[in-house]
Amino acid sequence: MRDATTAIKITPPRALAGGFLLIICFGTMLLYMPLASVSGHSMGFMDALFTSMSATCVTGLILVDTGTHFSLFGQIVVLALVQLGGVGFMTMATWISIFMKRKISLQERLILTESMNEGKMEGIITLTRKVFLYSIAIEAAAALYFAIHWSRDLGFSKALYFGIFHSVSIFNNAGFELLGGFRSLTPYVDDVGMNIVSIMLIFLGGVGFIVISDLIVYPKVRKLSLHSKVVLAGSAILTVLGAVVIYAFEYTNTKTLGPLSWDTKLLASVFQSVTLRSAGVNTIDIGGLRESTQLFMIVMMFIGAAPGSTGGGIKITTFVVLFATVGAMLRGKEDVVLFQQRISKGDIYRAISFSLLAVILLITATLLLCVFQDQNFLMILFEAASAFGTVGLSMGLTQDLTSAGKVIIVIMMFIGRIGLVTLAYALLTKRGKELYRHPEGKIIIG
């Protein structure tokens, strides 16, 4: 008779999902401690779980003001969870193993491959080393800029701490900030330097480490992988489209872009478009946006960031494949081709399947939230999409969530971070090859 450990096979997807759950539980215990709050009182288990989930899943939906509620200990816990959740716990564990010169096992390599959405295990340790170097270099450069920028007002030591916190948070697309008052980066809507540095951090965190690695070696090899081409082209198109739509829809809105000069309006539009990839920071009031803009943002958040990045959603590559599939069908083409390369039928089936599952998940979560929350429908849908896309933007619903509402959003953040693909494979008991095929039938479509 098999024991429990052999009966339940620890596959890479299960190890990945289980690892995230362990980190979230550990973070919950630490944030639940009175030591984590300035007041010296515990914030409550549900709120601690919500915050730990939001930080580990690099979402940024917050119940309490990070800058004023949490003590230094609590803020450091949040920051550590963001870093662990952003680069992945297996990546962090591998970094430590490399430093200690410990051999990386085959099982660990498989889990690493799963966590970084790599299609092959070859070169995964080299990629992990690059992730470490890129992350440290990018976060350090941005932290230094933020520290210099804030040193005049905060003093260098506090400015350096603020710089490190915000650099890590924005690069990992987490959206946590210490400025107070749930204002995010709205005081810096017209600060060109802060906007550009933040946009670069969001972009680099959102395209994923595989793309960053390709971009760095591009001057030598003069070649990009199909994945990188799709991610970069898709990100560019979505960013431009988002900026144009936000600029046009909000141009005369006195609550958002209306009072700003034309160049600041353009800067703010680009920033909000980029942040929709999964960042969670904003420079204009999200609740003050027109409903048309908010609905557009929901669609953009649902698409999300790139595979292997710190973001959620159905992923840019999935959206591009879906869009290309529709285009091929309308032109009467049998093959779906991107950058002169044919996309496999398996990838197309996966894109369609998981997109449909994501739509069902979002509708279900929104329906349940409508039962437990007495708020505007668009506000509820926005919150659900933000959680699934691990974006972290909110129209103001987060602080008014009921206990049931918090549970729903917690589940959405977790699924959004580990991904529907990983979750499905983690829950799947057995994947076997079919030994036979059924006869083909005809059905009317459309």
Encode pLDDT of 270-304 as tens digits: 999 999 988 889 999 999 999 999 999 999 999 98
Give 413 or 1, the one with higher predicted confidence. Answer: 413
Encode pLDDT of 157-184 as tens digits: 999 999 999 999 999 888 899 988 888 8
81 in a domain, yes or no?
Answer: yes
Q: Token pair of 145, please?
A: 């800029």
Concatenated DSSP letters of 313-380: SS-HHHHHHHHHHHHHHHTT-SS-EETTEEPPHHHHHHHHHHHHHHHHHHHHHHHHHHHH--S-HHHH
Percent of the chain at pLDDT > 90 equals: 57
211 in a domain, yes or no?
Answer: yes
Average pLDDT over residues 351-355: 91
Helix count and strand count (H, E) for the chain = 19, 2
For the chain, how many structural domains are there in total?
Answer: 1
Structural domain of residue 197, as residue ranges?
A: 4-425
From the list 405, 400, 387, the residue with the least C-alpha distance to 312 is 387
Encode pLDDT of 381-406 as tens digits: 999 999 999 999 999 899 999 999 99
Average pLDDT over residues 8-26: 77
In angstroms, the CA 94 to CA 109 distance is 9
441 in a domain, yes or no?
Answer: no
Q: What confidence score (pLDDT) does residue 1 get?
A: 42
209 in a domain, yes or no?
Answer: yes
Q: What confidence score (pLDDT) does residue 266 get?
A: 96
Q: Token pair of 80, please?
A: 């550590």
444 in a domain, yes or no?
Answer: no
- Which residues contact residue 178 at a Cβ distance below 8 angstroms, ignoring those fewer than 6 apart? 66, 67, 75, 162, 165, 166
172 in a domain, yes or no?
Answer: yes
Exposed / middle / buried, residue 375 (Cβ in 10 Å: 0-12, 13-18, 19+):
middle
Encode pLDDT of 58-106 as tens digits: 898 999 999 999 999 999 999 999 988 887 654 555 545 555 555 555 5
Average pLDDT over residues 190-200: 95
432 in a domain, yes or no?
Answer: no
Q: Give me the residues paired with residue 69 across strands.
A: none
400 in a domain, yes or no?
Answer: yes
Q: What confidence score (pLDDT) does residue 12 get?
A: 63
